[in-house]
Structure 1
């Protein structure tokens, strides 16, 4: 994992892969003219179903053919973009012969993004078990992956119809759970026992040196559930590799109205033009995207007092401010008017004042930013 920042801009090669994916979609998932004309409305309807009307959504909605086209042509590519940005900034040196389990895999989103964004892994013999309760989605994803990676790829993919906590036959070097936790019920008193059950399932299915990567959509609900999962993971001897720079209590657990939650916003620089055009047709244009995630192992990352920037910069006292996470809790990085703020996800080697002050509004510890303190 780069010590400098998460979510680096896409490489030219990664941009080209995402651009090529538009043509692959047309080959693998062709649409009749009338369905292509209807697509923008289907995308808009599905967007409401995934957000404002999510309580009315069927639990197995991805098993229905009418949802696959908008998902594959719009939501999948944007998730590939998000995960490509994330995977580019994480240490993901998966060893040759490794076992990778993708729970709630859908159309193999995480596997496609991994192939696109980490070219050094393409020649390794990796074994993927992709589990989901919607076989149609899995099969569509498998066809897309075969078209993207080619028939000669050494990656071996097994698709399994399974519920979230169904048994994983082989212990994993890496377990990925991407955009799947939010499908479960996290209301009220259910949250804590749910996190406990999921944690036990994931940790017992991971090798001693294995890792667990949880990825979600960057909204308050997912901030809360990842904070809950972080607490339970640490109680079961799994510690954060990223984004957390410490192992103390999460200072952004999304508890209470208006409370901060850990998530990252970043630009859509490098997103394919065909996807931006389709987004415009559906009136869902994007200037930026967001996600939150949790990457863990039994050893975790070395705790050396780093500070991780979280929020986008905002105006503050004639300069700029930016919320961050540190072992002192919620932190507010202060920039003077002449200093360019950092990007969300960057690491700071802090130069703390002898007696740090506290922001009256947010109760965050104040950290004046000095350029020489970065790495």
Structure 2
């Protein structure tokens, strides 16, 4: 039942082609790992500094490590979005803080939109245009203003790991029909995203995913520490596992916080979303779900001998006749995963 993903197969050839310009290939695990560690150390030492795109070791690290990981996360997100018809009627994407265009290139594997990529540094554009022919030439911009917005009713504003430095979305984003907001699965970024979700609801946007409701978020209103994040399993190619063997960081699973919103209202979903991992307690196991403004848990009493492994992030059908005790929904038969 694992939700397992990998980055698009077409990326591997392009990454190898790009690495050749540094006299490297995906087989050079140790040399690649040194670049990854150098960039990791940079971010630890200077967390508020912009990515040093002018450094070759930073470019190599993004190509061989961060691009595959982030693309895999987004592949899982895009699959969920497709299930709900989120991209229907859209034709244009504005990718803010695009970096190496990971989000747009991953989305382009399934949706041949036109893309405007906003990125201050010139190096990512050069890398993509030279080595990723599967992503046709798009419009790259160093800055963006509402005057450049072509057709807001058919536009998706995409923010992938680019909201951290902002206190709010740019004004032009509120003119767009759809918003795709993806952030690191940290407490700070996750809770900030939940607060933004509430603001967008108040401005007339509707939640398409991951939530199945538009009421207040219980993780935000009923806790000072919880935050919402999703998890997918990473089906790593052999060259990546060899690279990872040279690193202290391991990535069997990948997490992210995200929200997809549109001005158009989605079809109602009569389901709950699993937002926690199964926790073993004395006499029972519990797993948090979300279907409204209250914190609720599926509860398996050990005496029932019902065993069920439900991945975080999936939708489940809650029987109407399920017994509710306080904030627990006592499971009497297997829960149906949708």
**What is the TM-score with the length of structure 2 in the denominator?**
0.84
Q: Any residues of structure 2 matched to 1:131-280 within 5 Å, and which?
A: 131-146=118-133, 149=134, 157-162=138-143, 168-170=148-150, 171=152, 172-182=154-164, 184=165, 194-195=167-168, 198=169, 200-204=171-175, 206=176, 210-253=177-220, 259-268=225-234, 270-280=235-245
* CA–CA distance in structure 2, aligned partners of residues 21 and 83 of structure 1: 14
The answer to whether the 8 A contact 2:270-2:317 is kept is yes
Cα 1:220–1:168 change in 2 (3 A) is farther
* CA–CA distance in structure 2, aligned partners of residues 256 and 328 of structure 1: 12
Name which of 312, 317, 328 aligns with 1:366.
328
The answer to whether the 8 A contact 1:105-1:138 is kept is no
Cα 1:281–1:267 change in 2 (3 A) is same
Q: Any residues of structure 2 matched to 1:307-318 within 5 Å, and which?
A: 307-318=272-283
Q: Deviations over 1:72-110 (max 9, x none)?
A: 211111111111122122225746881111111111101
The answer to whether the 8 A contact 1:61-1:67 is kept is yes
2:325 is matched with which residue?
357
The answer to whether the 8 A contact 1:226-1:293 is kept is yes
SS at match of 1:329: coil
2:313 is matched with which residue?
345
The answer to whether the 8 A contact 2:184-2:255 is kept is yes
The answer to whether the 8 A contact 1:223-1:253 is kept is no
2:77 is matched with which residue?
86
The answer to whether the 8 A contact 1:310-1:323 is kept is yes
Question: Can you give the 5+ residue segments of structure 2 that lack an aligned partner in the other structure?
Answer: none
* CA–CA distance in structure 2, aligned partners of residues 239 and 286 of structure 1: 33
* CA–CA distance in structure 1, aligned partners of residues 231 and 322 of structure 2: 32
The answer to whether the 8 A contact 1:353-1:367 is kept is no
Question: Can you give the 5+ residue segments of structure 1 that lack an aligned partner in the other structure?
Answer: 186-193, 359-364
Q: Deviations over 1:131-166 (max 9, x none)?
A: 1112212332333431xx2xxx7x552111126x67
1:74 is the counterpart of 2:42:
no
Cα 1:282–1:168 change in 2 (3 A) is farther
Q: Deviations over 1:17-58 (max 9, x none)?
A: 43x5333212123223699754323312322444x4453x42
* CA–CA distance in structure 2, aligned partners of residues 294 and 239 of structure 1: 10
SS at match of 1:356: strand
2:4 is matched with which residue?
9
* CA–CA distance in structure 2, aligned partners of residues 254 and 218 of structure 1: 18
1:108 is the counterpart of 2:101:
yes
* CA–CA distance in structure 1, aligned partners of residues 329 and 239 of structure 2: 42
- Provide the aligned C-alpha RMSD in A: 3.1
SS at match of 1:285: coil
